[in-house]
Amino acid sequence: MTPTLAHIANSEARHRELLRILEQEQGSPADRRALLLICLDDPYPPVRQDAARGLGALMSEEVIEVLVHLARGQAPPPQTLASLALPDGALDWQSARAAVAALAALRFTPQVDRSAAVAAELLDDARDDVRFQALLTLYRLAPEHPAIEEKLEALLSDPDAELASSAAQIAVELRRAEMLPALLQSWQGARGPARQALAVAVAELVDASELSPESLPEASRSAVVEELTSMLRDEAWIAQASRALAMLDGQAAREALHAVIARWFAHPLLKLDAAAALIELGDARGEAHLAASLNARRNDVRGYALRLVGVKRLGQHLDHLLQLAKTSDYHADTAVLALADFGGEAATEALREVAQHHADAELRELARAGLELGHSPEPIAPRHARPDADVDGAP
């Protein structure tokens, strides 16, 4: 009898049962393999995601064959199904959500070239979700695949907004400066959250490609800066919009950034993001807020302010970092990370001293890592926001 979780109506309970079966390795590998394949079409996304991951430990030629056919929306040969104890009707081969989960599972196969080829093929699929997952899978498996080179620019204008945003982030990571005009065009035609994400991506591509903000047509740059400035009113976008405004030298946004700092209910870490942007824009109000935050009552605010001192290389606060790193203070480790980002002779010498003589073994190791890397081993924040960061299965 083919194992299934269909008898469990509650989605969360069904997910817990799947995790229990995987953790305890209940049943034979063949039973678990069949169960995971069936779960690729479960209505509950976490079940599909964990089924895709779970198949990574149970891969076989037959499993890969089923995944490839499922991703393409085709039924595999009957002998393949029989070898996996999957009866007819166990899966809906036309299911878009199962195709998405199958593409996610293909990330875990040993046949990387084959999986990448299938993902590349499905970049032209008629189903939006399938195209989206095909791009994520292909980029995860083979970021230099010719299909990315050939189709990324066109994907910036994909009718699926989420896919267009992901294509933009990939263009940023690959530093594809030549795609800036296409990205601007995509932004101009977008609406809602996708438009906001693409505005951030425009700034990030300018920054990642080491272009000057003036490389954008003045009208386009002003329009993007205006868009980013309006995004400061939405707390969900403050951090990204602040960084993007600094990347585009958005001087027109200085008052709006200061308004974030002055806002009564804005999160204090977001206020620091706005302050960091003001520092980049040469506005003294940003540095004043950061200096005050170094003495804030909240540990997270003090810690973030310390990291910003290192990233922005604010020399007026270097002595504070140098002293703090050598103590047993709660934020001694944060000061070590900040010194690694700060760089320079004084910071390097302090890291050497911590690495050799600090009483805390973890801090000594942290300092050694910073010296070896030439920067902090723990990034202050993701350089480029990735909407797909935690997507390994169906959205």
Burial 280-303 (b: 16+ CB within 10 A, else e): bbebebbbebbbebbeeeeeebbb
d(CA 143, CA 116): 10
Torsion of CA 100, 105, 111, 115, to 10 degrees: 10
Q: Which residue type is seen at 166?
A: S
Instruction: Give pLDDT, residue 386.
Output: 38
d(CA 54, CA 337): 36
pLDDT tens string 185-242 = 999 999 989 999 999 999 999 999 999 999 999 999 999 999 999 999 999 999 999 9
Please say whether the beta carbons of 202 and 224 come within 8 A. Answer: yes
Report pTM. Answer: 0.84
Instruction: Give pLDDT, residue 387.
Output: 37
Instruction: Give pLDDT, residue 384.
Output: 40
Instruction: Give pLDDT, residue 388.
Output: 38
Torsion of CA 297, 303, 304, 305, to 10 degrees: 70
**Helices 254-262, 238-247: inter-axial angle, 10-degree rounding:** 150
Written in H, E and C, the secondary structure of 151-196 is HHHHHCCCCCHHHHHHHHHHHHHCCCHHHHHHHHHHHHHCCHHHHH
Instruction: Give pLDDT, residue 4.
Output: 83
Task: Please report, for the chain, the start and end positions of each structural domain, with discontinuous segments joined by +.
Answer: 1-110, 298-378
d(CA 178, CA 99): 33
3-state secondary structure of 306: helix
318: which DSSP letter?
A: H
- Residue 391: CB atoms within 10 A of its CB come to 18
Sites in the chain below the pLDDT cut of 70: 1-2, 381-395
pLDDT tens string 2-42 = 678 888 999 999 999 999 999 999 999 999 999 999 999 99
Torsion of CA 147, 50, 72, 88, to 10 degrees: 170
| First and final C-alpha spacing in the chain | 30
Please say whether the beta carbons of 49 and 98 come within 8 A. Answer: no
